[in-house]
Amino acid sequence: MTDFFQNGVITTFHNLGTSQVCSLEEQLKEFARIQPIALVLPSLYREYASGALPNIIRTLKKTNYLNEIVLCLDRCTANQFREIKKEFAAFKRLTLIWNDGPRLKKLYHLLNKNNLSPGDSGKGRAVWIAMGYVLARGRSRVIAVHDCDIVNYDRMLLARLCYPVASPQNEYEFCKGYYSRVTDKMYGRATRLFFTPFIRSLQKILGYLPFLVFIDSFRYPLAGEIAMRRDLAMAMRIPNDWGLEVGTLAEVYRSVTLNRICQVDIADTYEHKHQPLSASDPSQGITKMTVDITKSIFQTLAQEGVEFSEGFFKSLGNIYLRMAQETIVRYENDAAINCLKFDRHSESTAVEAFSQGIQRAGDRFWQSPSDANLIPTWHRVIAAMPGFFNQLKEAVQSYNETT
């Protein structure tokens, strides 16, 4: 049984088990007359090959309220792009962006020449360029984003994600999805064992800071499912690395008043590809994610006026380690009463890897505190290059016409 507890400083929409997907979709269809809805899907070819992406597209064909769907493909050869294009050719609301194609590479080069670098290939750049295409077309007022490795995808997930922002009766400008990551065991290590203890360790050292209270109000801050209104998408800077999700929340915090931010329970269970820990390789997997996210939080706190010292980072590592170890005990007990499998050794190994990642992030931040991997806002791009939206539309349309 779910709860209806409103905690933190943002509004939470719970799944109380009473809504019906058909009813929500009919309401969204009416909402879309006033606020047309676009869906952005950042994807790798491997998510198509695994079957997750085709299942998502089949499910989306049954929806009746989406104005447009933009699928942005990364790490995709010309033959693979043609394969996907042929597979989805009959779905007229779907537009493909080939991020590795020569015309997109030419546009990225042009941005670099104008000191507007969107960074290297990755999810952050894919989301940014796909949102840019939606903004360039000017046909949608709400933009939703979700990952493409969701194994148990269904229509309810998207309907609940879009509803708070799409409703003309609501004033919400940004919505974050959350969900339970449980099968026969608990998943979500990066949130359970790293992010939440890390944020609360910062609170213990720094005391009350509105940003830390804000970020701690989200039940699944590292989830990739979001929805926002057009004006916010134009004004946001987002990271191009693993710090995308928390960097997005930091931008929302700076740009939107709290009573216009919400989170929504979008799924009873959520199954997707699990990232490897890669404890021995800090450039891969969840360990790399830890470093990027931690550095993003440090940069945001610095912008909020926090002054750091070398001793701060040492204290933070020790406090985090103690808090995370206490967290393991809580989750072990929680798993026991719910008859779930629990591997205390692997949980402890993850915490040790996360602790090392926090230390690496602190070292990097201390050496280069202003080195942020933020992509410029679309407002800035268009101010510097007024014709860029037209160039982007032409490039994307060329891939959907002939490849």
Cβ neighbors of 72 (< 8 A, separation 6 or more) are 40, 41, 42, 43, 97, 99, 126, 127, 129, 130
Q: Average pLDDT of each block of 10 consecutive residues along the chain (403 residues)?
A: 81 91 97 98 96 97 97 96 95 96 97 94 94 98 96 95 97 95 88 96 96 96 96 94 91 97 90 58 72 93 91 92 97 96 95 93 86 89 98 96 63
Task: Outline where DSSP puts E strands in 217-256.
Answer: 226-229, 238-239
Q: Which of 135, 98, 104 is nearest to 118 (CA)?
A: 104
Backbone angles phi, psi at 143, to 5 degrees: -125, 120
Task: State how far the Cα of 53 lies from the Cα of 41, in Å rounded to an integer.
Answer: 9
Q: Are 239 and 375 in contact (CB under 8 A)?
A: yes
pLDDT at 182: 85
Tokens at 185, concatenated: 């065991």
pLDDT at 42: 97
pLDDT at 389: 98
pLDDT at 121: 87
Domain ranges of the chain: 11-401
pLDDT at 403: 47
Q: Are 107 and 392 in contact (CB under 8 A)?
A: yes
Strand partners, 262: 11, 175
This prediction's pTM: 0.94
Task: State how far the Cα of 392 lies from the Cα of 98, in Å rounded to an integer.
Answer: 12
Strand partners, 66: 37
For the domain 11-401, what is the CATH code? 3.90.550.10
Q: Which of 39, 71, 66 is nearest to 54 (CA)?
A: 71
Task: State how far the Cα of 20 lies from the Cα of 5, in Å rounded to an integer.
Answer: 22
pLDDT at 273: 60
pLDDT at 220: 94
pLDDT at 324: 97
Strand partners, 238: 375
Cβ neighbors of 320 (< 8 A, separation 6 or more) are 197, 198, 201, 354, 355, 358
